[in-house]
Every structure is written in structure tokens, then in C-alpha cells.
Amino acid sequence: MAAVHAFRGGVHPKHNKNTDVLPSIRLNDFQEVEILLHQHIGPPCRSVVKPGDYVYVGTLVGAADHPMAVPIHSSVSGTVREVHYVVSPTGNPIEAVRIESDAKFRVDPAISPPHVETKQDFLDMVRASGLVGLGGAAFPTHIKLNPPKGKDPDILLINAAECEPYITSDYRQMSEHPDEIVDGILEIMHWLNIPKAIIGFEDNKPLVHRIFTHELAKRVYKTGTKQPIEVRSLKAIYPQGAEKMLIYSLTKRRVPPGKLPHDVGVLVLNVSTVRFLGFHMRNGIPLTRRRITLDGSALNTPGNFNVPIGARIKDLIEAAGGTREEPQKIIMGGAMMGVALDRIDCGIIKANNAILVFGSNEAKIPAESPCIRCGRCVAVCPMGLMPTGIDVSTRSRDVEGLEFFHVMDCIECGCCTYSCPSKRFLTQSIKNGKVLVRAELTRRANEKKLLEESDKIASGKEAPSESN
Amino acid sequence: MKLQVSNSPHVRDDVTTPSIMRDVVIALMPATIYSGYMFGLRAILMVMVSATSCLLFEYMSRKIMKRNNTLYDMSALVTGILLALNMPATLPFYMLVLAALFAIVVVKQFFGGLGNNFVNPAIAARIFLVISFPEYMSTWTLRSGAFDFFDSLRGADLVSSATPLASMNTLHASGSIGHIIDNKDALPSLFAMFIGERAGSIGEVSILALLIGAAYLLARKVITPAIPASYLGSFILLVLLFGHTPIYGVLSSNTFSWSLLGEAFYEPLYMLCSGGIVLGAFFMATDYVTSPLTNKGRVLFGIGCGILTFLIRYYANMPGGVSFAIILMNILTPHIDRVTMKKPFGGLAHERR
């Protein structure tokens, strides 16, 4: 079957999948972990432990009070040392629990395989397991699995594209746990009543096709029925794994700007997310560990590592073999969309799929030169925007221009900056532009409110009361 | 540990502004070398004088304006080479330097340097010379006699000759459609014109050399085919339909035969191989700064160039049809950009339901 490349635009960064054949290594040698109490999109969790408490692997440390929040569990067994505020990787103050590990990794005795009878049970289980989107966005999975009424998905897409350079953690997940992935897919299809699923992967990982056809064939042998799961190859082009691009490539459905996949009847989950679901259904252990790719020119031994969530990045780099040169740039996430860190004593979070440690050669930041209007950014933008126009508008603080160029539709994939021969920071400019537009929208809303109020006062309908 | 922080993405493509300009310079080399063969060493000297003065003016104007040195981006070099290639072989050197001054200082740096000029500097400078020194800019020559180093360097071996465009106009003025078809022998042969055995600007004569350079640019993805294809395509179509020997005129003048159809295509091919249209379509109209951003816009731009070139060549009786066509479309580029803006993936914001 020919590989699908459906969306327009996209770029071809060097794949650098240096670690794809290396089996994941389980790292447990951490003296302490620092578990951030805000690891998802939504309000933060509330700490439920205090210094001196003994916790097991899987013991709740952060309770989720808000419906959008997802609980957070301890990833080691040991003693809570501190509940304090730290600076998050993105620079915000955030509550964290510091736990000293006793290196025994005792699982909480209260944990047992989940018992699910209804759809609500299933959703509650997903939420209690602490599962968020493991592809990088950390969107709470129980919200995704529960779309608004009338928008039930008719197709489940499994995002196995892993289009970011360097990262191979999803690929290792697929190589090592195809059974749990298929389990997870079947559970979701069963409880959400979705008739069809497609696993979409990029054709630079040809083994994926064989892995899943084999796994699905085994099930036909076992159960006698063929599962409605399709494995489809996609052209390796960044950002093939971006949600909207993946949906379009696999189903030809376009998600309008500002809308979500369920608006076009699609549910998209990362392959690691469904794998955890399959794993959790078997033994009930909440999300306490994840696979993470460590790569970059400054590392001695790049590879994939199965690590407890909350392990400090500096400990992780040491445990994974250390560095061979002074790191110049450390990136949390992929080379195209990841965040460059300014300190490495923070703990890794659930959605963290890679840590890239760049040496002096890779960390070079090229100098900007004037835009030569070559149109490359326009040609590669998968969202059909004009990054150079947005850049000009942002730099001249022209909010109307930003709206004219649809700045809010940008998915920040970084293709424009990647392709720019003048090495302009287009994506950064666009992010700044979004801030400007949001500020302007707020200002307009406030102004409207004030005007309405003053109109009311002027018309005498609502005299200002002095008692207030 | 000191860590560098920057916004994503953290990897960049290898293509840079200097690498693009370098590719354009490489692509212009076949035409430059051929000009040396066709018009003697003076042509090469012209390219060198023009390139050097462009680089010098770029350096000096940035220095005087207290702005950063931009010689490294090589755009001034490209302008310099293109400028010389658009000139007749007998042009006095001081005029060339004057043109370089106009291109770099007035057209480019006065508007803010690379990326901010609204018309192509080389074309604007050429038009500046056409208007200021019309007699020098319409003296066309060919090399004659045996090769002599010093004669060649001085251009003393150049004798004036009519350009193919002028020959065609003369022939057309003296007779009907059939007259042109029957007297093809009075015109240079298509093959000679393709190779470059004709009078004209030093860089425009060899279609073969230009196409080699164009193929390089296309293969390196420096330019997209949109502008050249739409420019040349619309021009061919217009010549076919409304030229001196329109296709319906040729076909109705006699009983149909395949060779007759060939006759109908004679004029468009002749027109492509004469004047600067191939140089213009691949190297001047595709200038990033002064052409539209989207492919749709580039097609519109190319069609506009094709129409204007046709109109000027057939109805305006003046040299420089290609230059004027491209510079007029350069001016329209911001408007083309506005009307050909791409629609965001998934529809426009106000179309959301």
C-alpha cells in the first residue's frame, strides 16, 4: 500500500532516529523524585501528602478536584520529604512533592486490576489511572473519551506517526508492547462503541506495519474474528503527526480552525496513551512511569529509557550514561516543538517523550537576516497561513494585520522557522502575535462591557446604587 | 552549566540566503561564459566591473548609513551580474557603474536594503539607462574577424547588427502573413538563435546557456516553475493568437497540412528566442523580493508579465519590453499577494460553524 501524504506543506528535517533499534532500558536508580502537581492541561492538583508520609508506587499524591484535572501518583516507594513550590520547566511556579526513594519500588497494596461494567466506570477508571495524552500535549484522556452529546466519534485514529526528529519512544512502545496497544484500542472501541480504528504510522518505520499485522493475525487465530483495525502507512513528512494533519491524511476530514477532532467525528489518541490503557486494564497500576528518548550529540549513550515520572532530568542524564561534552542546550520534547530548558533539576512529567541534550554543534542559533520573500514559509505551512506576513505584523504590533493573517489558527509546528533561509524566528513571532491578539480581544471585551454599563447608566434604567 | 535557551524549532534547514544567491550566481555562469565567447572579453570585463561596483556601492551605502555590512548575503553580486548581462556589449563602462549606483543605492538601499526594494534593482537600472542613454542602449553588435586579445578586450572587433526582433518587425512592415512565412531565410535561423548566434544584450542571446542555468535553479528548488511557465506560456499563447502570423491566419491561408501547423508555431518560437524574455522569465521575474509569495500569485504575476511583454513588443515599438513588463508587475506584487492569500486549512474563521 502506498504511503499517504495528504496535507499540503510540511518539511523534511533529518530524521535522526538514532535510537530506534535500541530496546528500552528500565532505570530505577534515583535517590529522589520530584513530582510536579500540574502535569496536564487544566487546573493543578491538590497535594494530599505531607512530609514524613510513606508512599508506595501508585499512591495518590495529588488529588484532582476539578473535572478537567487528572490525579497524580507517586512513582516510587519511599518517604515524602517536602511539599514545596518549584519553578516548572516552562518558568511558572508550581507545587511539587519531593519523595525520597527507598529503591524497593513496592506497589501500593490497595491496587488491583480495575473492574469495569459501564461506560461511566470506564471513564472513571481512565481518570483515576492518571492518564493524559502522552504524545506531548498532556490533554486529559477522560475528557477526550467523553465528547459532548451528539458528537460521538465513528472512527478511532491511533497516532503512531512520531514525526519529530530524534524521538523513538513511541516506536519502542510499539515494538515492545503491541499486545497492550491492541488491547487498549479494543477496550476503547468497545466502551465508546466505535466501529473502526486506524493506526497511522510514518513510512520511515516500516516494521510497525509488520508488528501490528502480526499482532492482529494472532488475535484472529485466538478468537476467530477479525478486528476492524487497520494499519496504514503515511509519508514521512513533518508534521504528519499533528492532530489535524493526521486526521486529514487518514480520513480526509478537515477540522476547522478552533474546533476539535470530535467535531468531525474522530477520536485521536497517541499510541503510548492506548498502550498505557491496555497495561492499566491488566494490573491497575496508575501512570507512574514512561518511556523517554534521550538523544543528542552531547550524550555518551543515547537510548530509550523507562523511567519513573518525577525523576530529575540531571539524574536521568547521569543514570543514562552521562555526557561527553558540556551540554549547550537541553530540550524537553522534540527538536521541532520542544522547550529549551534553562535548568535541569526539575522532574520529568507524564507528557515528556524526549530529552535532547545538544552539544555546541547542534545548539548553534543562526543569526537573523532580512526576509527575502522567498515564500518557503508560505509553501510549507500545513495550516495554509502566511508566516512572513504574521512576522511583519507582530514586529510592528499590528493586531489588525495579525487577525487578517489568521494568526490564531497556527499550530506552532515550526515548519516556517525550519525552512526560512533568512533564519527568522517566525514561530516565535507568531507566538508573540497570539499574545498580542489575546490582549486586544480582552481589551475589546472590557471596552464593550464598560460601554454597555455606561449606556445603561446614561439611559437611567439602572441607576448606580450608593449602598454598594 | 550554562544552557542556551531559544524558541522552537531547534533544528534548521541548510538553505540560507547566501546559499540561494550562490546558486543563482552559479546558474548565471553558462550565460556569462557564453557572452565572453560571443562578444569577446569585453563582455566578461563588463560583468566584472558591474559586479565589483555593485558590491562596492552596497558596502559603501551600508557604511554611510551606519548599518550592518550585508556583503555576505551575495545579493549585490547577483544584481551586478544580472545588470551586466542585460546590457549591450558596447556600453561605456562609466554608464555601467552609473547603473550599478542606481540599482544598489537608489533602488535597493534607499528602500531599506535586501527584501525591501519594491522593484528589481537590475531591471530598474536597465530602464534608467534606456531612458537616459537611448542611443547607447539600442546599439547591438556581433563579433567579427579573428580573435585578438586586446581588440577583444576593447570591443574593437564588434560590428553593429540588427537584433532578431528588429529584423522581424522590418519584415512584418513590408508584407502580409505569407510574406513572413515565405521569407524566413531573411531572418536568423531558430537553431542559431537557440544557440545564441545573434545580436542582443550580452547575457540574453544564448537560450541554451540560460536554460542550463534555469534547470539548475529548478533542480535546486531555488525557483518554482510557476512564474517562468505562466510567463512563457501566456506569451506563446498570445503570439499564437494575435501575432504577425496568427494561427487561424496561417491555417486558413492554405489547405491544412502538418507542416503548415509548424509554420504557425514558427513565430512564437522565434519570439521566445529573441529579446530577453528567457533571461527575464527565469532570472528576473523570479526574483523573490519583487514577486508574489504564493504559487497562485506567481501564476497571475507570470501571466501579467506575458501579456505586457506581448503588448510592448507588438504595439509599442520600443526596446526593453521584458524589462517594462516585469517592473510593472513588480509594482503590482503587493496587490497580487493580497488577492491570492491562501485560505487556512479547515476554512476561514468566519466560515466556522
Q: What is the pLDDT of residues A254-312, one digit of tens each?
A: 998 888 999 999 999 999 999 999 999 999 999 999 999 999 999 999 999 999 999 99
The span from the CA of A138 to the CA of A83, in Å, is: 23
Q: Mean pLDDT throughout B10-17?
A: 94
pLDDT digits (tens, 9 = 90+) for A107-129: 999 999 998 999 999 999 999 99
> What is the rounded CA–CA span in Å between residue A264 and residue A153?
8
Minimum CA–CA partner of A16 in chain B: B11
CB–CB contact B13 A11 (8 Å): yes
Domain ranges for chain B, please list them: 17-138, 164-195+223-340
Nearest chain A Cα distance for residue B12, angstroms: 4
Residue from B86, B24, B27, B82 nearest B51 by CA: B82
Give the Cα separation of A38 and B88 in Å (integer). Answer: 72
Please report which confidence band the pLDDT of residue A468 belongs to, taking 50, 70 and 90 as the band edges.
Answer: very low
How far is residue A158 from each of residues A4, A174, A186, A231, A270, measured CA to CA in Å?
15, 12, 12, 9, 6
Cell triple for A331: 530540550
Distance from CA of A373 to the nearest CA of B (A): 5
In chain B, which residues have their Cβ closer than 8 Å to the Cβ of A431? 7
Q: Are B278 and B210 in contact (CB under 8 A)?
A: yes
Quote the CA–CA distance of B321 and B137 in Å, as a whole number. 13
Q: Are B154 and B230 in contact (CB under 8 A)?
A: no
The closest of A355, A351, A363 to A334, measured between CA atoms, is: A355
Q: What CATH superfamily is the domain A25-283?
A: NADH-ubiquinone oxidoreductase 51kDa subunit (3.40.50.11540)
Residues of B within 8 A of A335 (CB-CB) are: 8-11
Grid coordinates representing A172?
519502542
Q: Is B342 in contact with A385 (Cβ distance < 8 A)?
A: yes
Residues 165-184 in B contacting A (C-alpha not used; CB under 8 Å): none
pLDDT tens, residue by residue, B63-86: 999 999 999 999 999 999 999 999
Locate cell 487465530: which residue? A221
Task: Give CA–CA dist B82/B326, Å, rounded.
Answer: 14
DSSP track, B174-223: TS-HHHHHHTGGGSPPHHHHHHT-S-S-TTTS-HHHHHHHHHHHHHTTSS
How confident is the model at residue B178, as a pLDDT? Answer: 67
Asked if B115 and A372 come within 8 Å (Cβ–Cβ), the reply is: yes
Nearest-by-CA chain B residue for A415: B9
Q: What is the DSSP string of A323-349?
A: BSS--SEEEES-TTTPEEES---SBP-
What mean pLDDT value characterizes chain A? 91
Question: Residue A75 contacts by C-beta under 8 Å, 6 or more apart in sequence?
Answer: A33, A35, A57, A288, A289, A308, A309, A310, A311
Contact at CB, B293 and A386, closer than 8 angstroms = yes
* Mean pLDDT score, A459-468: 59
pTM above 0.80, yes or no: yes
Q: Report CB contact under 8 Å: B12, A418.
A: yes
End-to-end CA distance of chain B: 51
| Nearest residue in chain A measured CA to CA from B14 | A421
- Within the 40-99 window of chain B, which residues sit less than 8 Å (CB to CB) from chain A? 70, 73, 75
Cβ neighbours around B149 below 10 Å, total: 9
Give the CA distances from residue A121 to residues A67, A177, A193, in Å, rounded to whole numbers and listed in that order: 15, 25, 15
Rounded mean pLDDT, A189-216: 92
Cβ atoms within 10 A of the Cβ of A120, count? 11
Size of interface A-B (CB pairs under 8 A): 172
* Angstroms from A29 CA to nearest CA on chain B: 23
Between chains, do A406 and B344 touch, taking CB under 8 Å as contact?
Answer: yes
Of B17, B116, B345, the CB nearest to A369: B17
How does pLDDT run across B174-223, given as a tens digit for each residue?
766 667 777 777 788 899 999 999 899 999 999 999 999 999 999 999 99
- For residue B320, the model assigns a pLDDT of 74
Q: Is the peptide bond before A148 cis (omega within 30 degrees of 0)?
A: no
State the Cα–Cα distance between residues A268 and A277, nearest whole angstrom: 14
Residues on chain A touching B348 (C-beta within 8 angstroms): 257, 406
Q: What is the pLDDT of residues A139-171, one digit of tens each?
A: 999 999 999 988 899 999 999 999 999 999 999
CA-derived radius of gyration, chain A: 24
Q: Are B284 and B326 in contact (CB under 8 A)?
A: yes
Angstrom CA distances, B188 to A452, B191, B275, stand at 79, 8, 13
What's the pLDDT tens digit per position in B212-245?
Answer: 999 999 999 999 999 999 999 999 999 999 988 8
Cβ distance A421 to B116 less than 8 Å, yes or no, reads: no
Residues of A in contact with B4 (CB under 8 A): 328-329, 340, 363, 365
Closest residue in chain B to residue A375, using alpha carbons only: B293
First to last CA, chain A: 72
- CB contacts under 8 A, B 102-141 vs A, are 112-116
| Nearest chain A CA: its distance from B35 CA (Å) | 29
Q: Which of B274, B266, B278 is nearest to B185 (CA)?
A: B266
As for the ipTM of the complex, it is 0.89
B chain contacts of residue A336, beta-carbon cutoff 8 Å = 8-11
Are A133 and A176 contacting, i.e. CB atoms less than 8 angstroms apart? no
Tell me which residue in B10, B16, B70 faces A423 most closely, judged by beta carbons.
B16
